[in-house]
Amino acid sequence: MNVEIHMGIYGVLSVYMIRIDLLYKMNELIGKYFLNELTSGEQGQLAEWRSAHPDNEAYFQDIARLQECKVSREVNLNAFIRVNQLNEKIRDYEYGRSIERKRKAYQYSGAAALLILVLFGGVMYGLMGTFVPEKDRSVVTLTSSRAVTGEKRPPIIFKTNQPYKRVSLPDGSEVTLRAGAELKWMWDFHQQYRTVRLKGEAFFDIKRDEAHPFRLYANDSRTEVLGTSFNVEQSEEAVRLCLFSGKVKFGQVSVKEEVVLQPGQAVSFSEKEGQMVLGDFDAEAVSDWTRGILRFDQCSMPEMVQKLNKHYNSDYRLSSNEDFSKLKFTGVFTDVPVAEVMDMMGQVLHIKTVHHGEEKIITKLWE
């Protein structure tokens, strides 16, 4: 067995390759493995390579973990980032070779990366621009012997329409996104600051790293922490932060005004009024959604529809021709599809949903 086979695949990030063809071959075999196209001989080659170095097995398991995301609410982007970085290095070492050579080599090696992108339908790559509200940053990308200065790389974007979805940041911090939420960060995430931007609502459990403070931007607000857990709800009109543990600094970027919160405190910032208001919060009510819980406590119909739409990122509305003022609902649902929730409410409240195109209109069956 030659020396290149023993080399850990992640080790290629820091060494020059004698034979890049081997890495092409291993990527090809991994791609064929997940497409169930390996021959018996190729199965033996892949098994030998996986057992030759711990890094090789780690690379294989990263791709396997991404496959599991199809049926899980747990999403770990670290594996995707490691695999993508490696494949970028492979492409960079091969810079200057013919297009036909690359096309042939990537027929299956691209299959592994393509498989990951398909599974990660919520991770969108495009020219979305930098998201840090201060000055745009230029990223220096080292590409083999080339250095492309000033090249801007697109951010990583994660969205979800599920009631909740857990995502791991590159530093191991955990974020739970609520339905309709969007989280962005740049590829150079772990630089001076660990910076993200949020639209919608999310719960953050941030690992402590005093050398790299964590910064969250939402509208014109900025939250800075070292290590803590908190919930942030962003809308076009306002931002509300509820602190569960640790300490955070919360402020308005444009006027550099900040407050320091203690656990159990909440702060709201209104875009229209431009001021911050401190208060407290009900921890259970704020965090219910992170466990898939939808709770109604003598809710009026307008309140019920508002909670329903927020939890499922849906678009139900009450019929304007009927009086729902006497109807109230109490109940708790955990990880229940919206269709089942509406069916239960229909039986209790004698209501139904009428579909007009994309509109979902709630009407009464009888008084």
pLDDT in tens, 212-221: 999 999 998 9
Angle formed at CA 182 by CA 181 and CA 184, multiple of 5 degrees:
155
Please state, for a pLDDT cut of 90, what percent of the chain lies above it.
41
Which backbone phi and psi does 323 adopt, to 5 degrees? -100, 115
For residue 167, what is the DSSP state?
E
Residue with tokens 């005093």: 210
- Burial class for 191, CB neighbours closer than 10 Å (0-12, 13-18, 19+): exposed
Alpha-carbon distance of 139 to 327, in angstroms, equals 57
- Burial class for 147, CB neighbours closer than 10 Å (0-12, 13-18, 19+): exposed
Instruction: Kindly report whether the global pTM for this prediction surpasses the value 0.95.
Output: no
What band does 313 get if pLDDT is binned at 50, 70 and 90?
very high
Q: Give the pLDDT confidence score for residue 32 in this predicted structure.
A: 77
Sign of CA dihedral 96, 101, 102, 105: negative
Residue type, 94: E
Q: Give the pLDDT confidence score for residue 133 in this predicted structure.
A: 34
Q: Is 80 exceeded by the pLDDT of residue 80?
A: no
Q: Give the pLDDT confidence score for residue 20 in this predicted structure.
A: 53
Query: Mean pLDDT in the chain?
Result: 75
pLDDT in tens, 162-174: 999 998 888 889 9
Name the residue with higher pLDDT: 126 or 82: 82
Q: Cβ–Cβ contacts within 10 Å for residue 11, how many? A: 14
Alpha-carbon distance of 42 to 45, in angstroms, equals 5
Alpha-carbon distance of 23 to 355, in angstroms, equals 53
Q: Is 60 exceeded by the pLDDT of residue 344?
A: yes
Query: Which H or E run includes 54?
Result: helix 54-68
pLDDT in tens, 271-300: 787 788 999 999 999 999 999 999 999 999
Range 39-52 average pLDDT: 86
Alpha-carbon distance of 312 to 294, in angstroms, equals 10
Alpha-carbon distance of 230 to 221, in angstroms, equals 15
Q: Give the pLDDT confidence score for residue 171 in this predicted structure.
A: 87
- Burial class for 90, CB neighbours closer than 10 Å (0-12, 13-18, 19+): buried
**Please, what is the angle between helix 21-34 and helix 99-119, to 10°?**
40
Buried b (16+ CB within 10 A) or exposed e, 155-184: bbbbbbeebbbbbebbeebbbbbbbbbbbb
Q: Give the pLDDT confidence score for residue 86 in this predicted structure.
A: 60
Alpha-carbon distance of 117 to 168, in angstroms, equals 17
